[in-house]
Amino acid sequence: MPRTLYDKIWDEHVVHTEEDGTAILYIDRHLVHEVTSPQAFEGIRQAGRKVWRVSSIVATADHNTPTTGWERGYDGITDPISKEQVTTLDANIKEFGAAAFFPFLSKRQGIVHVIGPENGATLPGMTVVCGDSHTSTHGAFGALAHGIGTSEVEHVMATQTLLAKKAKNMRVSVEGTTHKGVTAKDIVLAIIGKIGTAGGTGYTIEFAGSAIRGLSMEGRMTLCNMAIEGGARAGLVAVDDKTIEYVKGRLLSPGTDKATGKFVGGAEWDQALAYWKTLHSDADAKFDATVELNAADILPQVTWGTSPEMVLSIDGRVPDPDKEKDANKRTAIERALTYMGLEPGKALNDLFVDKVFIGSCTNSRIEDMREAAAVVKKLGLKVAKNIKLAMVVPGSGLVKEQAEREGLHEIFKAAGFEWREPGCSMCLAMNADRLEPGERCASTSNRNFEGRQGMADAPIWLVLPWLLLLPSTGILLTCVNSLKGHKTCRNSPYTKASWLPWTARTWTPTRLSQTVFKIHQKNRFWT
């Protein structure tokens, strides 16, 4: 019988099935971080159990680690609870062991979903779990990856398995070519906008179609990262040459010489390659649900409300609750508008923010850094005076190192951004990076729930790395000022407005008006 990619990976990992369909599923890779592991290790200890297979564990500290003051070492973690979680992880890994551990302050430390792929800890065909919902990220490699709770973290540690019931198959295909400047994040936000935050509940989503195949591995990670925001615990992309090229020569990958970190190949690599090439859905495989999007219809996306499904194209307008027939939805829209401080009908390219955050497991990889830096450099941007904080937080030590090798940090710093140490940072406010009451933030992260980034009353707009730099989202408020006479921006190349990176479509000019924004198809820098 023809099988989907999900069927194939699932079948390969089932150890045992109970009468009611509950399966014991074997887990290949267990990613561990400091927040959801302490109670699990404690449970193992109290029950006098052992960690079943230490070589499955790859660990790092990311949620609580500060993004400044690393020169002060552990004393730089000012919050006592944060510090305790980080030191507890160190002690637990010392006691129980791991295949690889990248502790706080080490060169390869970073956001768990960035360092996994980076170090070859995530490989095609694996089952990957982590006590974090954005584990879906790793599905980009044709791995079955999803988040689990702390009880399940303990269950995996003690038994190397999970009790699971098979999800249904959903195929989301995006065909065609995207406009220049439309990124993986726009694609996934457009999908969530279409299916809703519960649309994928109970499903494993396979992302397919020419637009998905056209994405880089980093783009596919961004895409799968947000599968969970569409309700699906796991998202998948079939293995192709890009996947194989990416994993080749990674530290934990087959065929890599551990001493030199160089690819040497060999029988194990060949064996892996032969297996990985089978990791795609069969041509006539059946899906329980299919969703289709046309890539050409997708424009850059910005959220307007307090859930990732409250999203619109950048040329869209904030919805009017009075036009919503469903009473529950109407209440949700009203509540979101109040929280965000928005009026119905307002244009999304006309927002003001206090803080800007580029980072998180969604958008902190080297390509994201390059995109944002390219816009800053091309346009000669400066962070506006009324922005309290604009920061760039690379996803890992290796991303940071690479960015610095390319001089991206200098571009950011010259523009007034803070260039930080790697970590989860402001995405979840478990560290020193957070919003204060009333502060409004444009963020490249994945969740815009009430209070997500700190205080309860602090609206968040989810955007793309380069979109943060649009005048409308605040950072270029300098340039708004420039229209009122500020010298610095008057000659900025952006006022020539020839840089907008997607092909022309009706842009809704607002206060910044047509004089600033004319969309020219020619002379786009995004090539």
Q: How far is the CB of 135 from other proteins (least distance, A)?
A: 8
For residue 275, state whether it binds other proteins (rule: CB under 8 A): yes
By CB under 8 A, residue 11 contacts other proteins: no
26 binds other proteins, rule: CB under 8 A: yes
The answer to whether 96 contacts other proteins (rule: CB under 8 A) is no
Using an 8 Å Cβ cutoff, are 169 and 287 in contact? Answer: yes
Residue list 280-319, contact with other proteins (CB under 8 A): 307
Q: Which residues contact 109 (CB under 8 A, 6 or more apart)?
A: 60, 61, 62, 65, 102, 103, 115, 396, 397, 422
Q: Does 230 contact other proteins by CB under 8 A? A: no
Q: Which is nearer to other proteins, 79 or 320 (CB)?
A: 79
Determine the Cα–Cα distance for residues 288 and 214; give it in Å rounded to an integer.
25
461 neighbors 353 (Cβ within 8 angstroms): yes
34 to 73: interface string for other proteins, x by CB under 8 A: -xx--x-------x-x--xxxxx-----------------
Closest CA to 30 of 217, 142, 158: 158
Site for other proteins (CB under 8 A): which residue of 2, 11, 18, 72?
18
Asked if 155 interacts with other proteins (CB under 8 A), we say yes
Strand, helix or coil for residue 26 = strand
Which residues, 6 or more positions from 252, have their beta carbon under 8 angstroms from its beta carbon?
A: 58, 99, 100, 119, 120, 121, 123
And the tokens for 92? 């637990």
Is 133 a binder of other proteins (CB under 8 A)?
yes
Would you say 262 and 120 are in contact if contact means Cβ atoms under 8 Å apart?
no
Q: Which of 70, 451, 503, 519 binds other proteins (CB under 8 A)?
A: 451
Tell me the three-class secondary structure of 136-204, residue by residue.
HHHHHHCCEEEECCHHHHHHHHHHCEEEECCCEEEEEEEECCCCCCCCHHHHHHHHHHHHCCCCCCCEE
Least distance (Å) between residue 55 CB and other proteins? 4
CB of 26 to other proteins, least distance (A): 6
Binding residue count for other proteins, defined by CB under 8 A:
70
Q: Does 22 bind other proteins (CB under 8 A)?
A: yes
Distance CA 120, CA 244 (A): 11
Interface with other proteins (CB under 8 A), residue from 257, 268, 270, 436: 268
By CB under 8 A, name the binding residues for other proteins: 15-16, 18-22, 24, 26, 28-29, 35-36, 39, 47, 49, 52-56, 81, 98-100, 120, 123, 126, 131-133, 135, 146-152, 154-155, 158-161, 163, 165, 167, 197-198, 201-202, 231, 233, 251-254, 258, 268, 271-272, 275, 307, 328, 447, 449-451, 456
